[in-house]
Structure 1
């Protein structure tokens, strides 16, 4: 089965009812998509009350692909706000516990930064992550091209298989070492993650990693139908290798993600309806 969703639920005005309040965005979102990428966990380990609130606002069957906290993947700068790494991991596991208990946690996404290259040391980092998140389904996403070089690609896929990691397959600009190719390979028989970042090469490689404007243009992209067809072909290849493929659109700097996801679902023959049972005329076109 192909399950389509977006990154976050707070910035997709096309899926909200006109009369909806800010606090009702998640409910509206869940009427359109069966899964969402929970990004707030990357910036801060969430209080358990937040997690339980979000579970309560969504119907049975709705899943949260939960992004690993930035201190766990090497993004955090400066001193961690925890006494130890053990405390950080313990609190993260405690935070996501309700999702796992409710059957709402398809996976945790560990997205590594562009400077996390394919070295023996970093392979060790991944082994330790696997140990610390034992019993949790974890997807690994690389951003450094070396993991998929001719020299290491086969070894990367084999390593992910051996460690029981879910492969995060990415569509993104092909713009040097800080980007990876689309490699439609499943590393587990049950699930694979496909993340679509757009193809804005200029925005992807612009200087100023921490500049707000850079962040706004990095994922500024509107997929054409032929590009979505191409991606769908890759997704179908992955689907031949596993039971469920989770496809997440992250190209929302210009608000294109929801509309692109709906077009992709139409091309794939997927019923445009979330587990909340809402099948709305999202864009006033009446043809979804």
Structure 2
């Protein structure tokens, strides 16, 4: 009997360790960090705006930089952002709209190079996925889209690049698009939104979800049951499985190796985004490095 009890405890410890490891591969955050309403419900009263990134990066595990979508940032800015954030923190970076918002994507070479050479490599090991967001009116045209994917390199200045495709037209909900994304091993954004296609088909060795359904009426943007569900989905992705309750175009592939997972609370009731991200991190057992910094 003692041997069986000991085996049971060992199995429980092993299961607990696996769950902790799966949670550690999940990063949760928000889009940007300079947003006035957050000064009422996220940032401490009196906190200097120059320290908002420093604070946010100690209460979240990732941030999506959106300013890079609208205009070119300086290398010095990327270096400063890296220095202001703790070890283990990750930035995803939204690519320039001048590369993606065009009729012929094959002609985006100069814009792609200009963005990648702007200094994002200065983020070093804090550089997460690069998000290429396409206009809602942009349809899937296989030849042109594949030419664009060939413009996206695997590294810049020796820093590895992981590319994410945020496609927003229903024509991308097709096996042909999915096959192309998988061939180039580029992730597709899963959008929790009624406005855009919600494609849970995985096409890379990591997962990128943008959750856009937060409500101003809810303290944490999402209801507790919804946050519980997102916790389970993120854990499934991290463990190498796939959530069974999300829409997809093709058949779910067989379970595979573990994945890194990125979950961002974006849009919707944006003022609730930090609370939503923190609530999900709490469910994952994440503990930040603390504030103020040592």
For Structure 1 versus Structure 2, the TM-score category normalised by the shorter chain is 0.7 to 0.9
Is 1:17 matched up with 2:29?
Answer: no
Q: Is the 8 A contact 1:37 1:65 kept in 2?
A: yes
Q: Secondary structure at the match of 1:107?
A: strand
In the alignment, which of 207, 214, 225 is matched to residue 192 of structure 1? 207
Change (3 A) 1:125 1:112: farther
Query: Cα RMSD (Å) of the superposition?
Result: 2.8
Larger Rg: 2
Alignment length, in residue pairs? 239
Quote the residue 2:131 is aligned against: 109
Alignment partner for residue 39 of structure 1, among 58, 66, 89?
66
Residue 162 to residue 94, structure 1, CA distance change in 2 (3 Å): same
**1:118 Cα deviation (Å)?**
2.1
> What is the Cα deviation at residue 254 of structure 1?
4.5
Q: Bigger shift: 89-98 or 54-63? A: 89-98
Q: Is the 8 A contact 1:186 1:238 kept in 2?
A: no
> What CA deviation, in whole Å up to 9, does each residue of 1:193-230 have, x standing for no partner?
11111178xxxxxxxxxxxxxxxx9xxx9321222233
Residue of structure 2 equivalent to 1:249:
265
Cα distance 1:71–1:125, how it changes in 2: closer, same or farther (>3 A)? farther
5+ unaligned residues in a row in structure 1: which ranges? 77-83, 201-216, 281-288
- The answer to whether residue 192 in structure 2 is matched with residue 171 in structure 1 is yes
SS at match of 2:152: helix
Work out whether 1:67 is the aligned partner of 2:91: no
Scaled by the length of structure 1, the TM-score of the pair is: 0.73
Moved over 3 A (4+): 84-87, 96-100, 131-135, 251-254
> What CA distance in whole angstroms lies between the structure 2 residues aligned with 1:145 and 1:133?
30
Map of 2:122 onto structure 1:
99
Q: Is 1:126 matched with 2:144?
A: no
| Contiguous gaps of at least 5 residues in structure 2 | 1-24, 241-257
CA distance in 2, matches of 1:249, 1:68: 18
What TM-score, normalized by structure 2, do the two folds share? Answer: 0.72
Cα shift at 1:122: 4.2
Which region of structure 1 is more displaced relative to structure 2, 110-119 or 224-233? 224-233
